[in-house]
């Protein structure tokens, strides 16, 4: 957990409903550079009319977007998915400690980040970022044509779509249903060269928004059934299309070398190493740890059955 109390506070990040803000590491810090802090999301759950009439206090849902971001980053390293560096962090705001996650700015100096939505809108006049109309595997393949993998990564000379397929596999593994057109993009260097950006914004994965009680209930009933409900709702595909289906569709479009690579990367992951990652995160409840481990085990098996 990185303490941001001595860091230089920067500007707010526009967009979204979270109190995101940029911070700069102090001189000599091991965490060099600019980092975007995202606080853990907490919201009140509306009460029924009956409970309101009894004067009960609203229930509070504590989301796990902070630990989801950190676990996703560590898992991405296990299968060599280019991903923004992420740490757990805390700060004091109005005499109250706020916990969350922070992600290092992926943009080198003077580079520009453009979202997938921007690319798709330039290619398809009917594209709609709000409804995800036009956000398809085929459309992504088209707009990434001629672009290479993330800079300063082992995929810098790969075709960008072959790397993006790894992101789709990763999403299916960690149950990330939030790969909408603004949650991937490209980086443009000052000389005009364009690269696929590393994967980012994984805070909705692993059932992080359910709350401890709901995760415990699913754990007691049927985690496999929960995993099978992981729909690709941010893609313009039939309603019942799953994250596994999207990953498989991406692989069918990718080159043979990429298909072989990503299957190998997923198959070589050891379950115990994944468990160690989950166990290293502080303050998770026992049921939540068990739920996450089962999701990773089940989804990995489901993926290997189809890819």
- What integer pLDDT is reported at residue 147 of this predicted model? 98
User: The whole model's pTM is what?
Assistant: 0.93
Q: What is the pLDDT of residue 104?
A: 96
3-state secondary structure of 226: helix
> Helix, strand or coil for residue 225?
helix
In terms of Cβ atoms closer than 10 Å to its own Cβ (0-12, 13-18, 19+), residue 241 is middle
**Residues 175-228: tens digit of each pLDDT:** 999 999 999 999 999 999 999 999 999 999 999 999 999 999 999 999 999 999
Q: pLDDT digits over 20-78, tens only?
A: 899 999 988 899 899 999 999 877 667 677 766 667 776 778 899 999 999 999 999 99
Nearest-angstrom CA–CA distance, 213 and 287 = 9
Which of 8, 205, 37, 185 lies closest to 111 in space, CA to CA?
185
């Amino acid at each position: 957990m990185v303490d941001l109390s001595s860091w230089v506070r920067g500007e707010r990040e526009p967009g979204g409903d979270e109190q995101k803000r940029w911070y700069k590491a102090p001189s000599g810090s091991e965490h060099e550079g600019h980092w975007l802090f995202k606080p853990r999301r907490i919201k009140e759950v509306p009460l029924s009319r009956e409970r309101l009439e009894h004067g009960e206090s609203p229930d509070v849902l504590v989301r796990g977007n902070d630990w989801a971001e950190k676990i996703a980053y560590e898992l991405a390293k296990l299968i060599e998915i280019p991903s923004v560096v992420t740490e757990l962090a805390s700060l004091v705001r109005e005499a109250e400690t706020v916990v969350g996650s922070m992600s290092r700015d992926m943009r080198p100096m003077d580079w520009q980040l453009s979202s997938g939505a921007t690319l798709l809108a330039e290619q398809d006049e009917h594209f709609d970022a709000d409804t995800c109309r036009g956000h398809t595997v085929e459309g992504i393949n088209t707009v990434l044509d001629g672009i290479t993998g993330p800079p300063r990564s082992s995929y810098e000379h790969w075709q960008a779509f072959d790397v993006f397929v790894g992101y789709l596999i990763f999403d299916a593994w960690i149950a990330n249903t939030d790969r909408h057109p603004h949650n991937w993009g490209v980086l443009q260097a000052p000389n005009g060269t364009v690269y696929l950006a590393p994967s980012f914004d994984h805070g909705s994965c692993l059932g992080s928004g359910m709350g401890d009680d709901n995760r415990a209930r699913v754990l007691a009933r049927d985690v496999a059934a929960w995993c099978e409900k992981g729909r690709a709702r941010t893609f313009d595909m039939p309603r019942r299309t799953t994250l596994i289906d999207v990953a498989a569709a991406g692989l069918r479009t990718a080159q043979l070398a990429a298909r072989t690579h990503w299957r190998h990367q997923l198959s070589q992951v050891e379950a115990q190493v994944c468990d160690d990652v989950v166990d290293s995160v502080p303050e998770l409840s026992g049921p939540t740890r068990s739920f996450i481990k089962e999701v990773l085990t089940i989804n990995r098996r489901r993926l290997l059955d189809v890819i």
